[in-house]
Chains A and B, each alone.
Chain A
């Protein structure tokens, strides 16, 4: 057994100095910092399409992202650099061999090479290998320095990958009509048929047709064809500076739309589309019955539950989901406000004062003046949730145990659904959750 000793006061003082000096891994956005390799691999593994990914580094880095349910882990390869190759700097040969084999046997439309921390440490020139193989084979080989050594933000990663995809975009063939075709970037996932039908129905009233919804339901070929649309409607353009620049430079029209969660946001979302396409009247007409139904449901909900309290978690996820990162995670708040909830934000982050100031500044920049609490770990949540007497917690799923401990029902963050139909589902779900608590009380 080890000596049973507590730290001396001198040690405590020196530790305290460390924590004060410690840069708090804060990024411009509120979201958690992330590893580039984890972020890029995590996004690529969920994208279908004819591509390949090579993880360039030691074998273990293949487990820095989750492989199931995929669908694309079977397109991943690893150079599995050995210690002796690393020490001798002989890293190019396995990479070149791997790339040649992939291109010969799998014929991908593009190969992404992700270099890890170890390769960054020796500044391995894998870009040169990628260039050479691209030249030799004609297949685009894109080298990305994806180490986790820099505190990157998830927003940067999303923008980096999407703007990289945009470099693969093909100019539409002469004579191909882009008229009426629109893309959406960073919309929430649409899991219900009625939501899809709502979007398509409203668009069709304005003579528009959806070409692609990025990143959900899009494959590499959709990115290659992104320029085939007349307009790209982007949720939170500030999230994608590189992508927007890239699309603009390729002649695409990018237009900002809000995250269409809640009544007001859904209305603004469709009105922006209508305004841009010169079909505002038609869009309003198509939306009117949907809005009316959602509005009546909302009134009933407010009458029944108005004045409840919700704890909304922020900076808890590290999943590089664009819809979650949009507006620093504040995109869903309008629904809670419209539904009559009093919202408190719970930001997971360093407990030091300078981090608090940073978060406050950022919220002010985003026009948010809601009360907020900073907590370092989900572990700290139960007493905070209990003390606040919250009726519902909208938190990352991994905090389910903490919410349970505090006796507050958890709704998984970013599970609220978009558009007017989504509003009905969201209120129905909230109603069920609140009814259940009422019954249990």
Chain B
């Protein structure tokens, strides 16, 4: 693959803003999304994750305004209020949002005004999110919608509860038990520092519960939410503590330190908390390392994930002795290689000198790079979403390269009991998944 052709090739994570908004709306169970689009754009929404989330149907909370060429010529904005009212009547959502297609946006109609006008005719808040498709990715869309929710939290009218901490910037993409596990871990980690865990935005909880973020004294902003951290600080009037993800042992301990420092938890208390968790996890991680080293030898790991998660997983992989050599960063908005290396450095682990970090790789480039490692006999395992894995291990050659499916989308990995990848328990669960694969 030449660099020039790579510029045009389909990336392994080519989702745009509409998918991001749709996914964010899916994570608020009583929200409803109106897609002001033609028939095709509806597949950018629920259609992209109906196979990813087996726990909750994706199609129920989304409708489209059935725009055709005729509506485009006659003007399409007038359809928006009618569909908002109709869907509200049918679904009675607590919160609605409207997005539109690029070609409709380019027609120059004022959709924001149409949505604002419609909001006064239904008994719930309605947000308009501009989702131009020329650039931006899933996380841009997810963040825009999260910010619309945060703007509606009554921070100014609510007195915060001491030691209650809210979390923003969590990307909840399904109602399966991997996320349930992560959310349990976040709660556990905060409580282990003596803090009370408030709402997590977004986390599969109803709109009304998200409004309780107003009761939080401080807000922790996970790296996905960096884009709006500054605005959140202003609109909430609360301290916003920016952290990395609590992924891997070192990542989790660093997260605990950052939260403790931001929330005024005594250093000694934080250190005691970390020691307790470390004492629990280290022996098991040592067992894993011994097991894996015997089987993997000098073979190495390839990993595909969005920048913050990739940093956490790389940190985990290094401390677990998996020796990563190829990292594909699947987003276009979360800071890329620079942010990845900085986040990795903060966990305190050091990657090998030859670590190959590729920003936004195409499906073809991902496949080629993994194939080259495999052909040299130097590959132990691939971690990635079902998109990368489908092309690395095509049908009929399913087990050619041992793999762990993780991230969005996961069509072939589903979770029936709490299996986090956050926190100490998440590190051990990841080690377990890897252990099940390596021979």
- Pick the residue among B57, B86, B101 that contacts A401 (CB under 8 A): B57
Could you tell me the distance in whole angstroms from the C-beta of A105 to the nearest C-beta in chain B? 5
The reply to whether B8 and A63 contact each other, CB–CB distance below 8 Å, is no
- In the bound complex, residues from chain A placing their C-beta under 8 Å from that of B18 are 60, 63
B40 near A70 with CB under 8 A, answer no
Nearest CB of A to B417, in Å: 20
Query: Are the CB atoms of B66 and A150 closer together than 8 Å?
Result: no
* B386 A5 Cβ-Cβ under 8 A: no
B5–A59 CB distance below 8 A: no
List the A side residues contacting B122 at CB < 8 Å. Answer: 2, 5-7
Residues of B within 8 A of A3 (CB): 119-120
The residue on B at minimum CB distance from A33 is: B39
Shortest CB-to-CB span from B91 to chain A, Å, is 8
Q: How far is the CA of A58 from the CA of B132 in the complex (A)?
A: 9
Task: Give the contacts of B9-23 with A (CB-CB under 8 A).
Answer: 9-12, 14-19
Distance between B361 CB and nearest chain A CB, rounded to angstroms = 11
Bits for B44-72, please: 1 = Cβ < 8 Å to A, else 0.
Answer: 10011011000011111000001111101
Is A25 touching B66 in the complex (CB atoms < 8 A)?
A: yes
Shortest CB-to-CB span from B54 to chain A, Å, is: 9
- B428: shortest Cβ distance to chain A, in Å? 28
A2 and B119 contact, CB distance less than 8 A: yes
How far does the alpha carbon of A81 sit from the alpha carbon of B9 in the complex, in Å? 13
Contact of B2 (CB < 8 Å), options: A8, A77, A105: A105
Once A5-B121, A63-B15, A149-B68 are accepted as A-B contacts, the answer to whether A118 and B102 lie under 8 Å apart by CB is: yes
B228 within 8 A of A: no
Q: How far is the CA of A149 from the CA of B103 in the complex (A)?
A: 10
Number of interface residues of B (CB under 8 A): 77
Q: Say whether A64 contacts B72, CB under 8 Å.
A: no
Bound complex: CA A116 to CA B37 (Å): 13
Chain A residues with CB under 8 Å of B152's CB are: 1
Instruction: Give the nearest-CB partner of B11 in chain A.
Output: A62
Give the residue of A34, A67, A117, A318 whose beta carbon is less than 8 angstroms from that of B14: A67
Q: Report if A35-B43 is in contact (Cβ < 8 Å); known contacts: A70-B394, A102-B5.
A: yes
Contact between B14 and A78 (Cβ–Cβ < 8 Å)?
yes
User: Does any Cβ of B come within 8 Å of A254's Cβ?
Assistant: no
Could you say which residues of chain A place their CB within 8 Å of the CB of B68? Answer: 23, 25, 149-151
Known: A78-B14, A148-B41. A15 touches B125 (CB 8 A): no
Which residues of B are found within 8 Å of A63, using beta-carbon distances?
A: 14-16, 18-19, 43-44, 48
Size category of the A interface is 35 or more
How many angstroms between the C-alpha atoms of A400 and B56 in the bound complex?
10
Q: Is the CB of B82 within 8 A of A15?
A: yes
Q: When each residue 104-143 of chain B gets 1 if its CB lies under 8 Å from chain A and 0 otherwise, what string results? A: 0011000000000001111111100001111110000000
Is there a chain A Cβ closer than 8 Å to B212's Cβ? Answer: no
Closest to A34 in B: B39
Which residue of B5, B85, B363, B411 is within 8 Å of A73 (Cβ)? B363
* CB-based contact B4/A101 at 8 Å: yes
Q: In residues 46-84 of chain A, which contact B (Cβ within 8 Å)?
A: 54-55, 58-71, 73-74, 76-83
Q: Assess whether B188 is interfacial by the CB under 8 Å rule.
A: no
Q: Roughly how many angstroms separate A102 CA and B50 CA in the complex, as a whole number?
A: 32
Query: Which A residues are CB-close (under 8 A) to B395?
Result: 69, 71
Do residues A60 and B17 form an inter-chain contact, with CB atoms below 8 A?
yes
A22 to B41, CA, bound (A): 20
A25 to B86, CA, bound (A): 17
**Contact residues in B for A387 (Cβ distance below 8 Å):** none
Residues in A1-33 with C-beta less than 8 Å from chain B = 1-8, 11, 15, 18-19, 22-23, 25, 33
A34 to B64, CA, bound (A): 13
Please determine whether B72 and A78 come into contact, CB atoms closer than 8 angstroms. Answer: no
| Minimum CB–CB distance for B173 against chain A, Å | 14
Closest A residue to B135 by CB, please name it. A59
Tell yes or no: B390 within 8 A of A by CB: yes
Candidates A62, A148, A400; contact of B38 at CB < 8 Å:
A148
Inter-chain contact A76/B10, CB cutoff 8 Å: yes
**Bound: A329/B67 CA distance, A:** 26
Bound Cα distance A401, B60 (Å): 10
A94 vs chain B, min Cβ distance (A):
8
Residues in B neighbouring A66, C-beta threshold 8 A:
43, 47-48, 51
Question: Are the CB atoms of A69 and B14 closer together than 8 Å?
Answer: no
Is B169 interfacial (CB-CB < 8 Å)?
no
B30 at the interface (CB under 8 A from A): no
Distance in Å: Cβ of A101 to nearest Cβ of chain B = 5
CB <8 Å contact, B38 and A86:
no
Contact partner of B121 among A11, A68, A80, A83, CB < 8 A? Answer: A11
Q: Is B409 an interface residue (CB 8 A)?
A: yes
- B102 engages A74 (CB within 8 Å): no
Q: Is A266 an interface residue (CB 8 A)?
A: no
Bound-state CA distance A101–B38 (Å) is 32
| Bound: A5/B126 CA distance, A | 12
Rounded to whole angstroms, the CA-CA distance of A318 and B58 in the bound complex is: 15
A residues near B103, Cβ cutoff 8 Å: 116-118, 120-121, 149
B288 CB within 8 Å of chain A: no
B391 close to A149 (CB less than 8 A): no
Q: Most chain-A CB neighbours within 10 Å: which of B56, B79, B82, B134?
A: B134
Q: Which residue of A lies closest to B50 (CB)?
A: A398
Q: B367 near A7 (CB under 8 angstroms)?
A: no
List 29 contacting pairs A-B, 8 Å CB cutoff, sorted by A.
A1-B152, A8-B121, A11-B85, A15-B82, A18-B79, A19-B86, A25-B39, A25-B66, A35-B40, A35-B41, A58-B102, A60-B133, A63-B18, A64-B40, A64-B41, A66-B43, A68-B386, A68-B409, A69-B390, A69-B411, A71-B391, A73-B391, A77-B8, A102-B5, A106-B5, A117-B102, A147-B38, A149-B72, A398-B57
Hey, which bits of chain A sit against chain B, CB under 8 A?
Answer: 1-8, 11, 15, 18-19, 22-23, 25, 33-38, 54-55, 58-71, 73-74, 76-83, 86, 94, 97-98, 101-102, 105-106, 116-118, 120-121, 147-151, 318, 377-379, 398, 400-402
